[in-house]
Amino acid sequence: MPDTETFITPLLNVPADAPIQFFDLKSQQKALRPALEKRWSDILDHGRYIGGPEITEMEDKLSRLTGAVDTVAVGSGTQALILPMLAFGYGYGDAVFIPGFTYNATANAVLLTGARPVFVDIDPHTFNICPLDLERRIAQVIQQKRLKPRAIMPVDLYGMPADYPAIKAIADKYGLQIIADAAQSFGGRQKGQWVGTLAEITATSFYPTKTLGGYGDGGAILTTSKSMAQTLRSIRWHGTGTDKKNSIRVGLNGRCDSIQSAVILEKLTLFEEERARCLKIDSLYRARLGAALPLQDCPVDTYSACGLFTVRVPHRQKLRAELADWGIPTAIYYDTPLHRMHAFERLSPPGGLPACEKAAEEVLSLPMHAYLSEAQIHRICDVLLDCLKRM
């Protein structure tokens, strides 16, 4: 459950019959528009659209906010996953262990480095990578001797941090790196630490609908190592050094632009207030729906970033249609586990991933953003519970 700080910020006073948005970027933009236009005007004046002062300002603020030693802004959440693997030198014959129930970007990032993703089943209660199955898959790879285990890439699904203490114990046992995929979980916390400091390397995304999103693509890598940050800054600019002309290592264009950094800077002024509202919405959902539906578990000392509020439901398509008739939008994240996608099915483990497959058939995400009112949440829950009674 959320801590007391979440109840300092009240929810907005919006009537129950007001239109419900699954994501609401317009309300947030309205609050920020004058400041955004000032930021954009400053960028037009100084003309540094790439590598402007907004980049360093944003990196510094993200580091101070989370406690990370350093932050490196990049062009997308996918780049935020790829650059650390390039820095570690992963390639052909290397195994990176990832959950089978997540967005396809996680698997694509591994494959683009030449390494191989090894799919791991999820904990059916948290939807995150299962530590028990993770260790079993690592042992199998070691026994088979075809791949070399190199890293674990947990994904904080729907905003809930993975079980990092258990994952770290496994990583330390086998000498593996942890690269956290926190595309959905910026703002989450575990045992008093922010997402961004729970692993040596944390990748996050600034896609518009993320918990801290821009108005285009962008991302960041938060790290506990200054030397790693220096290497990542080189890789993101074609592997160059200080002169930006001569490559000292293999790199790519992984830069975040000044305009997206300006958007993030202004969104940070609302971030804690929006996070408090979302945690209260999460609490309301859990109070209303917890007895009727399986919800994503929130482990002790863990706080979700509330990227998505996801439940398991029977008769999903029928229920979605009924909710839509009542003006309640929903979404499915995700209806196909990675090992069943055409691009990755050759990597499917024998016997599949039962928990991933079952989740893909049952998950349903409800509206979750800071501009919902308490009345709207009760309306969503009332309609959902009534629909379930009639099924």
Q: Nearest to residue 316, comparing CAs of 334, 304, 298?
A: 334
Non-local (6+) Cβ contacts of 373 within 8 A are 11, 12, 13, 14, 15, 16, 18
Cβ neighbourhood burial of 45 (10 Å; 0-12, 13-18, 19+):
exposed
Residue 3 pLDDT: 46
Distance of CA 211 to the CA centre of its chain: 8
pTM of the model: 0.95
Instruction: Say how far apart CA 235 and CA 390 lie, in whole Å.
Output: 56
CB burial of 15-24 (b: ≥16 within 10 Å; e: otherwise) equals: eeeeebeebb
Q: Nearest to residue 174, comparing CAs of 155, 152, 159?
A: 152
Q: Are 186 and 195 in contact (CB under 8 A)?
A: yes
Where the chain has pLDDT below 70, the residues are: 1-9
Instruction: Say how far apart CA 130 and CA 36 lie, in whole Å.
Output: 41
Which phi and psi angles does 98 have, rounded to 5°?
Answer: -135, 155
Query: For the chain, which domains are there?
Result: 4-24+271-389 (3.90.1150.10), 30-265 (3.40.640.10)
Listed in sequence order, the DSSP H helices in the chain are 25-46, 53-66, 77-88, 105-112, 131-144, 164-174, 226-236, 258-289, 316-325, 354-362, 374-389
Residue 13 pLDDT: 83
Return the axis-axis angle of helices 316-325 and 374-389, rounded to nearest 10°.
Answer: 130
The residue to which tokens 């016997």 are assigned: 351
What tokens were used for 272?
């804690």
Non-local (6+) Cβ contacts of 61 within 8 A are 265, 268
Q: Nearest to residue 80, comparing CAs of 207, 203, 242?
A: 203
What tokens were used for 71?
């932050």
Find the radius of gyration of the CA atoms of the chain: 21
Amino acid identity for residue 133 in this structure: D
DSSP-assigned beta bridge partners for residue 220: 73, 204
Instruction: Say how far apart CA 171 and CA 348 lie, in whole Å.
Output: 23
Residue 8 pLDDT: 57
Instruction: Say how far apart CA 302 and CA 296 lie, in whole Å.
Output: 12
